[in-house]
Structure 1
Amino acid sequence: MHVESSSEGAHKVFFRILGPLRVCCGEREVPLPENRQLAVLAVLLTEVNKAVPLGRLVDAVWGDTPPVTADKQIQTCVWRLRKALVNGGTRADLIETVRGGYLLRLPDGSLDTHLFEEFRERGRARAEAGDPKGAVDDYRAALALFRGEPLAGLASRALEPVAAYWAERRLSLLEECFDVELALGRHRELVGELSLLVDEHPLREQLRGRLMTALYLSDRRADALAVYHAGRAALVSHVGLDPCARLQELHQRIIAGHPVLPTDAFSRPEPALRGRSRAAG
């Protein structure tokens, strides 16, 4: 992890996009202009340390219907952002004007998505090195960086794919974390968290398989089977498909009372939908 020098600490700034967009300088939250300025800042953060063309910023603010004065209004947005950041205690040169656009330059450890990736990679390395408890600590530290839906409250179609990307990264890491925690024998502790996630994402079979496994390992066989049937009903109703082959296999093992290992709950990459049987009715 990056450790800042004392000179960096004087202007220590931290940006958050894994939830509502927030900026902190030291221990203080920086008041930011709203609406257009936040959309501009969000785009600069998603391309941090890279030049962002002016046209992309215009698209993030107005979509397909920009005004004729869009370029000048973006300039005003950037001016207001710079002023707000400096007033909040940051360095004056965070947002640079470059040829054809702008660039937000940040040191390591200044953006929550970067910290997320650092914790994630360190957790994977610990898991591979045979340190599952350390891996879980890092995975959970990464997941704790989320404070809600990524970029929550920003109504910009250009930012929707970015928000969806980070929401998926969170779920994928949760699934990795659950696998390690199940292997550590924490199945009873995970049932509540997994139940909430399955309710939020009823078509995500990877989560459902892990919940079924946690319930079965907790001697709740009937509940595990009920979770499977609820998932099948949801899949048939929404997309006209039966559960994937691995979920069906897990279901059959639970019915038969066969041993189920934590790794049976979708540790391998999920194959494409091609080849699934279409549900009757």
Structure 2
Amino acid sequence: MPTTAATDRPSLAVLGRVEREVLAAVGCGLRDDEVADALAIPESAVAEHLARILVRLGLRDRAAAIVHAFDCGLTVPGRGPRTRSASPVVEISVLGPLRAWRDGRPLGLGHLRQQAVLAALALCAGRPLSRRELLDDVWGMEPPATNVVPVYVYRLRKALRTEDADDAVIEHSRHGYRLVSGAVDVDLTRMELLVSEIRAAARAGEPAEAVRLCAQALALFRGEPLAGLPGPLAELERLRLTERRIALVRQKVEWQLRLGQEAEAIAELFALSAAHPLHEPLAVALMRALCIDGRQADALTVFDRARRRLADDLGVPPSRMLRRARQMILRGDGAGLGR
């Protein structure tokens, strides 16, 4: 039953939604950093909310706030603070054309520049981006005549928000804009986690597990990363993520060859080489796989095809690496390519 002191204090109605959540979390004994993590708000904002709570409720200090949270029934023994759902609300994909879903339903993200703003936020893994950074990333040397960043962020918040209109997916602080931690699931983040697991499997000498994890990471790619998005950041990230995909395929193929899975490795390399005919390391990897499978003539055909494309498209001869691969095959040492 509430104490007399508690009933004499102002009602919780004087607090906003976030302030009530902060008070409930503080009542559970959480530190400021733990409250920030539980409620997905900046740690600096926790202290600001708590200071307002103490003033509005006439409380002396944090200890008094904890007692009041119990007295008014906001905090119940054995129950933690109200937090966001364990499952992310919004899924965002950058490993292909930019897409977003909420509860499995695709979301409209507006025109391309607006989408590029969201892509920049998704690529920065929770790091705040200032308005200046967003302008440089999305517009480069041709900034807009007016300050459109807040307008685009407002529209994106509307497009991404949950059924609770107050539950914004993009937050703003003095450091800039960022996606709220725990409210979004970006496929790039999942890929990076899988890459860490791939490295661990490689260190443990588990090629079959490494192949399985590589397949999972590669399945996240749905075409050219950030296809069609304007701006310097999108252009650079397209190149970086494409190279990341190629590196994953080459790693996967290397372990497949160790496991005697030549047919699978060759099929994967043929498909990727067709998409990137000017990528010489890919051509060398395919030539090696064909030689290991006893197909030296086919490996030489790959060289001839790469040589013609380089001449026709770029007007350059094959690199020393590609020429050396051909010589090794002619000497009967094709299986040693890349070692």
Fold match, TM over 0.5?
A: yes
Quick check: 1:19 aligned with 2:96? yes
Quick check: 1:28 aligned with 2:105? yes
Give structure 1 regions of 4+ aligned residues with deviation exceeding 6 angstroms: 88-91
**What is the aligned partner in structure 1 of residue 195 from structure 2?**
120
TM-fit CA distance, 1:227: 1.4
Quick check: 1:41 aligned with 2:115? no
TM-fit CA distance, 1:28: 2.6
**What is the aligned partner in structure 1 of residue 229 from structure 2?**
154
Could you tell me whether the CA contact under 8 Å between 1:194 and 1:210 is conserved in 2? yes
Q: C-alpha distance in 2, partners of 1:120/1:221? A: 33
Q: C-alpha distance in 1, partners of 2:161/2:184? A: 19
* Aligned positions of 1:170-185 closer than 5 A: 170-185=245-260
User: Aligned with 1:96: secondary structure?
Assistant: strand
Judging changes above 3 Å, is the alpha-carbon distance between structure 1 residues 34 and 109 closer, same or farther for their aligned structure 2 residues?
closer
* Aligned positions of 1:42-191 closer than 5 A: 42-69=119-146, 71=147, 73-87=148-162, 92-99=167-174, 101-107=176-182, 110-191=185-266
For structure 1, which segment, 44-53 or 6-15, has the greater mean C-alpha deviation from structure 2 after superposition?
6-15
Counterpart code for 2:194: F
Could you tell me whether the CA contact under 8 Å between 1:82 and 1:92 is conserved in 2? no
TM-fit CA distance, 1:176: 1.1
Per-residue CA deviation, residues 156-195 of structure 1 (Å, 9 max, x unaligned), is: 2342112211111111111111111111111122323322
**What is the aligned partner in structure 2 of residue 274 from structure 1?**
none
**What is the aligned partner in structure 2 of residue 243 from structure 1?**
319
TM-fit CA distance, 1:109: 7.9
Unaligned 5+ runs, structure 2: 1-82
Unaligned 5+ runs, structure 1: 1-5, 268-281
Could you tell me whether the CA contact under 8 Å between 1:206 and 1:266 is conserved in 2? no
Could you tell me whether the CA contact under 8 Å between 1:96 and 1:104 is conserved in 2? yes
* TM-score for both structures, normalised by structure 2: 0.67
Could you tell me whether the CA contact under 8 Å between 2:95 and 2:224 is conserved in 1? yes
Counterpart code for 1:243: S
Per-residue CA deviation, residues 39-73 of structure 1 (Å, 9 max, x unaligned), is: 2111111223111110222334444333442x2x2
Judging changes above 3 Å, is the alpha-carbon distance between structure 1 residues 10 and 209 closer, same or farther for their aligned structure 2 residues?
closer
Q: Which has the higher contact order (CA 8 A, sep 6+)?
A: 1
Judging changes above 3 Å, is the alpha-carbon distance between structure 1 residues 38 and 228 closer, same or farther for their aligned structure 2 residues?
same
Could you tell me whether the CA contact under 8 Å between 1:19 and 1:148 is conserved in 2? yes
Judging changes above 3 Å, is the alpha-carbon distance between structure 1 residues 29 and 90 closer, same or farther for their aligned structure 2 residues?
farther
Per-residue CA deviation, residues 118-168 of structure 1 (Å, 9 max, x unaligned), is: 111211221221111100000110011001111112122342112211111
Per-residue CA deviation, residues 248-279 of structure 1 (Å, 9 max, x unaligned), is: 4443342233472xxx3435xxxxxxxxxxxx
User: Aligned with 2:135: secondary structure?
Assistant: helix
CA RMSD of aligned residues (A): 2.7
* TM-score for both structures, normalised by structure 1: 0.80
User: Aligned with 2:168: secondary structure?
Assistant: coil
Counterpart code for 2:103: G
User: Aligned with 1:147: secondary structure?
Assistant: coil
Q: How many residues are matched?
A: 257
